[in-house]
Amino acid sequence: MTTHPELSGGDDAPAPLTHEQLRELYALMSAVRRLDTAAVAWQRQGIIPGYAPELGQEAAQVGSGYAVDRTRDFVFPTYREMGVAKAMGLDMVGYMSTHKATWHGGMYNPLESRFAPIQAVVAGSVLHAVGWAHGQTLGGPTDSGVAVTYFGDGASSQGDVHEAMNFAAVMKAPVVFFVQNNGWAISVPTERQVAGGSVAARAAGYGIPSLQVDGNDVVAVYQATRSALAHCRSGNGPVVIEAMTYRRGPHSTADDPGRYRTLEEERLAAGEDPLERFKQRLLADGVADEAFFVEAQRAADEEAEAIRTGIEELGPRPGAEMFSMVFQEPTPDLQSQATAWREESEHV
């Protein structure tokens, strides 16, 4: 892990993880892996219309999400942060409801969970995160919440990211820009769309400290995120984290990665599986035994089946919500559309 020399968190430096926490991290990663592969199968079976897999990114997501302080921080995700949601304790049926297109914002309470609604606009979450983080600086020294915003290497080329980083740096907004560099912007490899090959290197242009971390090492990701949060919490402004990982599957269930890379290229570039890597580490350090891993897999299978049942039982939301959730004060045009829809619906 490469650390910027100015990154400092005062007295809130990350403490070593206990054996219990290490086992919990593995259990979370195992549950995320199982739910992720299950969700792809559900899409193929017609249970959900679409899904963005994260196979290979479990360590980056669980490690960072596990570091968040859910009493004061706030996470602003994209459409691929299922692992972060799981690590933060969200109701996963509520989270997955968005992928079923039952509810556009997720059937969970963002204020209680500290997890903003899923953002489908590429790089859209960074603007919301910086705005929220800037708000934390306006409430006095007692407000020590930090925003964590997720985006990929492809999204880093969006102008919104540059504007957000510049504003955050100028205003010293407490925000962690967490980049999951999974090697691909849909079908375009990182080296063809990120000048210099590193998103973290761009941070220096805004005077922002950065860390580039092994995104397949869950402990390293946790420690990097905790350090970045501490830096922001101490009033030092934003931090950029670039977690180097690899997207082992398609960009989405509508994507065919075989059109732009071979299975052999994928195998060689992906490296060691983050889940298997962590398992071997826990075994070698005597933190867990084979019985623990068997139980973790059983629990993951059971949870995935319960989530599937919950998703299938979700009914449709009231159609009127598509009008009531648009503006705080409805416009005349919106009211007219709502009236027309209501009159037409009553005669269906």
For 207-218, what is each residue's pLDDT tens digit? 999 999 999 999
Q: How far apart are CA 266 and CA 263, in angstroms?
A: 5
CA distance 242 to 2: 10
**Best CA proximity match to 225, nearest among 73, 85, 64:** 64
Q: How far apart are the C-alpha atoms of 189 and 94, rounded to whole Å?
A: 33
CA distance linking residue 232 with residue 169, whole number of Å: 11
CA distance to 41, 78, 129, 220, 326, per residue, from 33 (Å): 13, 18, 27, 19, 35
Count other C-beta atoms under 10 Å from residue 273's C-beta. Answer: 17
The pTM for the full model equals 0.90
Q: Which of 72, 260, 261, 277 is catalytic?
A: 260
The pLDDT tens digits for 298-321 are 999 999 999 999 999 988 778 888
Q: Which domains does the chain have, with CATH numbers?
A: 2-317 (3.40.50.970), 319-348 (no CATH)
State the average pLDDT for the chain.
91
Of 128, 190, 188, nearest to 161 by C-alpha is 128
Distance CA 92, CA 309 (A): 12
Among the listed residues 80, 128, 134, 251, the single catalytic one is 251
pLDDT at 221 > cutoff 90: yes
Active site residue 247: yes
Q: Of the listed 99, 202, 233, 247, which one is catalytic?
A: 247
Strands (E), the chain: 2-3, 74-76, 147-152, 175-181, 184-185, 188-189, 210-214, 239-244
Q: pLDDT value at position 196?
A: 82
Tell me the C-alpha distance between 299 and 290, whole Å.
14
For residues 245 and 217, give the distance between their C-alpha atoms in angstroms, rounded to a whole number: 9
251 catalytic? Reply is yes
Task: Quick: pLDDT tens for 141-178.
Answer: 556 899 999 999 988 999 999 999 999 999 999 999 99
Residue 204 pLDDT class (50, 70, 90 cuts): very high
**pLDDT above 70 as % of the chain:** 94
User: Does the pLDDT value for residue 11 go beyond 70?
Assistant: no
| Residues 108/114/118/119 CA torsion (nearest 10 deg) | 150
**Confidence at 67, pLDDT banded by 50, 70, 90:** very high
Q: 174 Cβ partners below 8 Å, 6+ apart? A: 133, 136, 137, 144, 145, 146, 147, 232, 233, 235, 237, 238
Q: What are phi and psi of 76, to 5 degrees?
A: -120, 100
Quick check: 166 and 209 in contact, CB under 8 A? no
Give the tens place of pLDDT for each residue, 32-45.
Answer: 999 999 999 999 99
CB 278 within 8 A of CB 63: no
